[in-house]
Structure formats: C-alpha cells, structure tokens
Chain A
Amino acid sequence: MHVIETGNVAAALGVRLAGAQVVAAYPITPQTPLTEKLSELIEAGEMDARYVPVESEHSALAVCIAASSAGARAFTATSANGLLYMHEQVHWAAGARLPIVMCVANRAVGAPWNIWNDHQDSISQRDTGWIQIYSCDHQQIIDDTLKAFRVAEATSIPVMVCYDGYLLSHTYMPFAVPEQEKVAEFLPPFQPAYALDPSSPANLNTVTLPEVRLDVHGELAHGYMEIRYLLQEDLRNAVQVVEETDAAYQEVFGRGGVPLVEPYRCDDAEYIVVGLGSLTYQLRDVVETLRAEGHRIGVLGVRLYRPVPDAAIAAALQGAHGVFVMEKALSYGYEGALCSDLKSALYDHLPDKSEAPFVKGLIAGIGGREIRTADLADALRSGLAGSIPDPNWIAIQL
C-alpha cells in the first residue's frame, strides 16, 4: 500500500509495524508529530502498546531503558536540545546493551534557539555507542525504522534513526507501507538477551569495579573495561549485521540495497561529494548539472554513520581524484566530524597514500540556512577548479 504522508508519520507507521510495546516521549519540534501519531494510534486501539507520557526527554529514555530491561520492545523519539537533555541516558542505554530504537528528527541545537534543521544534535551523540542510521527520504524512514528494531535486537545495541527535521519530518511524500502480515517474516518477536524477572531478582549495571571479579556462582565476571570492549567489538561487527538485515528486508519487501553507503553516479567519478541525509539526494541535481558541464562527479550518501563502514567508504572513494564532504554539523574547533572519519577511513584502507584523493570539507545549512542548489553547484565548481570557498561555509554572509 502506498500513502502520501509526512516523514514523521512514516516513522510512526514503522514503529507500529515493528510492534513496539512501550513508547515514551516528550514533545519537541520537529519530532512532536511522530509521537503524537503514536499516541493517537495507541489511544484508538490501533497499536497494542503502552504510551508513557513523561516530563522530560531524560525520563523518556529512562522509561525505555526500564521497559527494555523488562523485555519489552521500546521506542522513543526526540530532536535537538531534547536529545542533549537525554544524553546521560543515551550513553546508559548503550552501556546496558538495550535494543531501544529512537528516531531523531534532526534540528540545530541552542544557543541561540533555532528550531530548523541541521545535524549537530545527532552528530554530537556519535560517541555514545549507539548505531546511527541516516535516512534520505520518507521511504527510507519507514524502512529504516522497521529494520532498526531487528538490528538493535540482533546486536543488543540501541539504534538511532536520524532524518532531517522539516525537510523530511514535515513534508509529504508518497511511500510504500510494508504489509503487516509480512513483518513477522522479517522481524520475529523480541527475545531479550536478559529480562528482569521478579522471581529471580538481579541488579543490572550497578557499580562495576575496574578489575574482573568472581560472581556469586564463582564465575569470572567482567570488569568495566571488558563490558566496554564488548560494546566496541559488537559495534564494529554490527556493520555486517546492518548489511544482513538489509538483505533480509529486501527479500521480504523488495526494497533496500544501500545499507552502508548510497552511491549516485560514482562509478566513473573523478570527484565525489559525500554527505548525510536528504542533502545527498538534493546533491543529485547538482551532480546532473555539473555532469552536463563536463565534470565527472558523483555523490555518496553515508547511510550508516556509527559504526563507521570504513571499508565500504574507502572502497567507494578509491580511485577518485578528489572528495568534498558536505556537512550540516561540525566538531567545533576542527572540522566536520564526517570529514575526519572519512579521512581516517582512507588513511587506513588505501595502501598507497599517494593515490588517496584529496578531501575538502564544506559546511552547509547550519540552523536551517537555505541550501540553494545553485549555491551547492557554485561551491563545487570552485572546488573543482582547485579552491573551495573561504570560509568553507556555503551561503554564509559575513
């Protein structure tokens, strides 16, 4: 079935299809319509779940942590400062290895207050141990949300599905809604790795000493460092789980094929623009324009940002002469975080460094600054001619 709906509704329908059992959220623009939709569905009896209204995002994720610890499929969503307010619990959910799914409708963070789109909110959560997926259109939002539950439960790692506030969250687009009866083929009921059981009490994630210890059974139990290493190891292995999940989804629903990176006209490209989210689809128009001018250029969307699919990124960029990374966020004091990650991937994977492409970072659309296709084309023309704009923030007026 195809519908014409907003990105937020696409996410909500994905959550309903997945059979989330507990939803806890606090309203924040531009995420609000997503959880409003879920609360409507639950209230109308169209979704068998418990909606827990809370007084903050910190509590929203705390409720999901508790629900997931008790063996329920849990979901929350937020944006911007709500995500930042949640930050302590974001780390906690990953450290506790709880397969929670969260949608982030990407929005700029304060100060100053700004409700429009950029990626600073979710990028600033990249080191929390969550899997981060960036959706580029409504179809990917609903598909990624459904896939996120399977990835999370297969890895015991929470998953963040990120999509652009307003540009995707509030715009209407046609998309296919997966058939509920087929979902069971793809997503089995949640089998928690461990669920709290009142008849067998346990303490989870209490003070864990630096050193390993013998537990009550006399078995050697992890210290903090072992637990954290296992998170890192499983996150690195999650690249493969994301690929396998996408393949399984494609088999059931016939869509997918770009779980890690999404190339567009990259095969013969001398230059490749790299980005996250809907910007990479907008860049396709720019690529067409520049191709018509004789430039061999393509665009590579990074779909999985954490764990970094470094081998796939390096393979996609190998052979290019130059790479432009266009980002809606940055690690203040240096450069765009994706730009740094990408350089790192190239350094690790290209055996002959002299053949590595040059990598130039560009910043666009901070705080919802209009990203005009013509401005993107101008910035890239300048880069192709050997000098990116200075400052490298597209359309800044200083």
Chain B
Amino acid sequence: MGTRGYRYKTSHSLPGPGDGGNTGSWRVERPVIDLARCTPARQGKEACFACWLYCPDVVVSRTIPPEIDYEYCKGCGICAEECPTKAITMVDESVYHEHGEG
C-alpha cells in the first residue's frame, strides 16, 4: 500500500494532530504536570490554561486537568516556562526509556 492515490502531489498539511508526522519522537525532555500545583486541577474549574494557550503545537488540552499529547509534543518547554505556578517540569526522556515506558 502506497500514497499514489493521495489527493495532493505536494506536501500539504492542515491544522490538526499528526500533519507534521510523529513529532513526539523529536522530544529530548518531556513536560510533566504536577496536578497539586496546576491551577485548573487544584480549583476543579476552568482557569489559567496558559499551557494550552502558549503551546505552539496545540498538544495541550483545554481540560481539567490539562493533558499533554506526547505523540506530538516536541518538548519545546514553552508550557513549563509560561506556567505561572511552576507546575510543569521538563524531565529528561531517558528516564522513561530506562523504565521501558518511552
């Protein structure tokens, strides 16, 4: 099975998950949310969502609590930088690979 029948002859991507390929594999560090510090998680209602707002790849959900799609998260760290309560930590991916979870 190949791509001959694909609708375009060029590279064409639409806004949405997956149209840049499986970019999660690019990640060196993984953003991990500490729910004890995360504002919407602590308050149990819609609030803050700075991580969702700033994520350039739209892989953080606007949910309670916010969730990160590691299939496509490139690990840029902007969410961790912007989080006002420092709830997001960038963790070296090797930690997960060593435990066979990567």
Contacts and interface: CB of A to CB of B under 8 A. Distances in A.
Interface of A: 95-97, 156, 193-194, 201-209, 211-216, 219-224, 226-227, 230-231, 234
Given A213-B21, A216-B17, A156 B6 contact: no
Task: Identify which of B12, B14, B18 gathers the most chain A CB atoms within 10 Å of its CB.
Answer: B12
B14 A208 contact: no
Nearest to A213: B21
A227 B11 contact: yes
Nearest to A212: B3
Given A221-B3, A226-B3, A209 B21 contact: yes
Contacts of A224: 11
Contacts of B18: 213-216
Given A219-B7, A231-B9, 18 more contacts: A96-B10, A97-B9, A156-B9, A193-B9, A194-B12, A203-B12, A203-B14, A212-B2, A213-B18, A213-B22, A216-B16, A216-B19, A220-B2, A220-B3, A221-B3, A222-B3, A226-B2, A227-B9
Contacts of B43: none
Given A213-B21, A220-B2, A220-B3, A230 B9 contact: yes
Contacts of B13: 202-203, 206, 215-216
B36 interface: no
Interface in B46-69: none
Contacts of B16: 216
30 contacts: A156-B9, A193-B8, A201-B15, A202-B12, A203-B13, A203-B14, A203-B15, A203-B19, A204-B10, A204-B11, A204-B12, A206-B13, A206-B20, A208-B11, A209-B21, A212-B2, A215-B18, A216-B17, A216-B18, A219-B7, A220-B1, A220-B2, A220-B3, A221-B3, A221-B19, A222-B6, A226-B2, A226-B3, A226-B6, A230-B9
A161 to B, nearest CB: 23
B17 to A, nearest CB: 7
Contacts of B2: 212, 220, 226
Contacts of A214: 18
Contacts of A96: 10
Nearest to A222: B3
A205 B14 contact: no
Interface of B: 1-3, 6-22
Contacts of A206: 11, 13, 20
A194 B8 contact: yes
B2 to A, nearest CB: 7
B21 A211 contact: yes
B10 A207 contact: no
A202 to B, nearest CB: 5
A208 B14 CA distance: 13
A100 B7 CA distance: 21
Contacts of A213: 18-19, 21-22
Contacts of B12: 194, 202-204, 221
A206 B12 CA distance: 8
A270 B10 CA distance: 46
B90 to A, nearest CB: 23
Contacts of B22: 213
A234 to B, nearest CB: 8
Contacts of A219: 6-7
Given A220-B1, A222-B3, A226-B3, A205 B10 contact: yes
A234 B11 CA distance: 16
B61 to A, nearest CB: 17
B6 to A, nearest CB: 6
A74 to B, nearest CB: 16
A227 B10 contact: yes
Nearest to B22: A213
B14 A215 contact: yes
Nearest to A234: B9
B37 to A, nearest CB: 33
Contacts of B20: 206-207, 209
A246 B89 CA distance: 65
Contacts of A205: 10-11
A227 B11 CA distance: 7
Nearest to A157: B9
Nearest to A202: B14
Contacts of A211: 21
